[in-house]
């Protein structure tokens, strides 16, 4: 690792497609120098690889398929939900491309294993876990959630596949409620807390179960106002951090009305050497990721070229030290990412193609 990919006398440089969403106009105008990942493309080219944009839309499927079957690797950045569509068409395409021998990162099977909210339930016994429930249908939610709310808990419900806070809800029993009403807040930007009846709440949740969907339920972390750490990983090594002081579901100031909750602030990027996060780094690299791999059956080289884990501060332990709770893993479209992640990503791609 660390050297360039040197083509032989008659061998062409390995071609690397950078796949991201767009329409016909975007596809026709995209070049190596003018695309969403131009910096990454330059870094790949500097290592002897031949990067090219591959703008994807379901309507352009056959065209993109023909392009990807001619490359050596496809690095994919497409949200699980984009413009009202899911990734079902794209995932089928990528499986076909991978079966033809093209290196695909992240492979759709890996995305399904670790890139949906279900991974929070499957890995709940690891050191990053919490009291996580999974409701495969509305009846299971109705059977389990009321007792948690009646015990005074605040819970965060998450649709199994989504992004940008879509389908993530904070729910608690309404204060002084003489019925079963709840307070509810959607994590999408601009949403505020509201009080609704139990039946209205269930009506909000019901669509998430359609088409084989489910809901994951985690306890709300009351130290959320202290910030959220995002660990960016290349395969199994942290390549950078993001720190967000004000994030989704951030509470309103004490005594202020719910609508006074501040909107999410910027994410500040840091290299993997950030001193304050080295304890978290050791836990992620030395314990939690290897344990996740063993549990999910994912080899190191099959981990995505870039992915991230979001952590909230959990309750302090008996010694007063911080604990961390996993609240999300992002695999489908991890961008932007820290500058410090570019070189390790290029190393990983060059190493993979060099071995082949």
pLDDT tens, position by position, 268-317: 999 999 999 999 999 999 999 999 999 999 999 999 999 999 999 999 99
Tell me, letter by letter, the H, E, C secondary structure of 152-198.
CCCEEEEECCCCCCCCEEEEEECCCCCCCCEEEEECCCCCCCEEECH
Residue 235 to residues 4, 94, 227, 343: CA-CA distances in angstroms? Answer: 19, 19, 25, 13
Rounded Cα distance between 206 and 215, Å, is 10
For residue 21, give the H/E element and its range. Answer: strand 15-21
CA 195 to chain centroid, in Å, comes to: 29
Determine contact, residues 114/329, Cβ cutoff 8 Å. yes
The residues facing 351 across adjacent strands are none
CATH number of 114-129+222-331: 3.30.470
Q: CA-to-CA distance for 40 and 172, rounded, in angstroms?
A: 44
On the question of pLDDT at 1 being above 50, the answer is no
Structure tokens at 167: 């389908």
**Euclidean distance between CA atoms 350 and 167, whole angstroms:** 37
Per-residue pLDDT for 255 more than 60?
A: yes
What is residue 5's predicted lDDT score, i.e. its pLDDT? 59
pLDDT in tens, 82-127: 777 889 999 999 999 999 999 999 999 999 999 999 999 999 999 9
The verdict on pTM exceeding 0.95 is no
Positive or negative torsion for Cα 222, 228, 233, 239: negative
Residues 6+ apart with CB under 8 A from 263: 189, 190, 246
Q: Which two tokens stand for residue 37?
A: 């990942």
Output the CA–CA distances (angstroms, integers) from residue 304 to 105, 111, 168, 218, 236, in the order listed: 5, 9, 24, 25, 9
- For β-strands 228-234 and 307-314, DSSP reports them as antiparallel
Q: Does domain 15-106+344-355 match CATH 3.40.50.20?
A: yes
Point out which residues pair with 137 in neighbouring strands.
none
Confidence tier at 177 by pLDDT (50, 70, 90): low
What letter would DSSP give residue 264? Answer: P
For range 257-277, the mean pLDDT: 94
Kindly report the length of the chain.
Answer: 356
Instruction: Decide: 57 and 21 in contact? Cβ < 8 Å.
Output: yes
Q: Which tens digit of pLDDT belongs to each residue from 34-76?
A: 888 999 999 999 999 999 999 999 999 999 999 999 999 999 9
Please state whether beta strands 15-21 and 73-76 pair in parallel, antiparallel, or not at all (unpaired).
Answer: parallel
């Amino acid at each position: 690792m660390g050297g360039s990919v040197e083509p032989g006398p008659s061998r062409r440089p390995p071609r690397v497609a950078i796949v991201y969403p767009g329409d016909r106009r975007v596809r026709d105008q995209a070049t190596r120098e003018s695309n969403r990942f131009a910096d990454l493309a330059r870094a790949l080219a500097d290592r002897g690889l031949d990067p090219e944009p591959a703008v994807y839309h379901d309507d352009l499927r056959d065209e993109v398929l023909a392009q990807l079957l001619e490359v050596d690797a496809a690095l994919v950045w497409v949200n699980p939900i984009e413009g009202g569509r899911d990734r079902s068409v794209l995932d089928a395409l990528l499986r076909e491309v991978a079966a033809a021998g093209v290196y695909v990162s992240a492979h759709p099977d890996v995305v399904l294993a670790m890139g949906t909210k279900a991974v929070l339930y499957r890995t709940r016994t690891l050191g990053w876990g919490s009291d996580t429930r999974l409701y495969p249908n509305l009846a299971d939610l109705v059977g389990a959630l009321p007792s948690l709310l009646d015990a005074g808990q605040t819970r965060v419900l998450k649709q199994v596949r989504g992004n940008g806070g879509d389908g993530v809800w904070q729910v608690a029993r309404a204060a002084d409620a003489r019925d079963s009403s709840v307070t509810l807040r959607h994590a999408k930007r601009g949403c505020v807390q509201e009080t609704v009846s139990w039946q209205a709440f269930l009506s909000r949740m019901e669509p998430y179960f359609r088409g084989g969907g489910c809901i994951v339920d985690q306890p709300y972390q009351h130290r959320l106002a202290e910030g959220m750490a995002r660990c960016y990983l290349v395969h199994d090594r942290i390549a950078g951090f993001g720190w967000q002081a004000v994030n989704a579901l951030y509470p309103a100031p004490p005594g202020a009305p719910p609508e006074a909750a501040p909107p999410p602030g910027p994410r500040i990027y840091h290299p993997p050497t950030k001193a304050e996060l080295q304890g978290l780094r050791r836990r992620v690299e030395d314990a939690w990721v290897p344990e996740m791999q063993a549990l999910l059956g994912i080899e190191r080289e099959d981990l995505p070229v870039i992915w991230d884990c979001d952590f909230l501060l959990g309750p302090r332990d008996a010694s007063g030290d911080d604990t961390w709770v996993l609240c999300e893993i992002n695999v489908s479209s991890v961008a932007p990412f820290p500058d410090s992640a570019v070189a390790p990503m290029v190393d990983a791609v060059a190493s993979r193609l060099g071995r082949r």
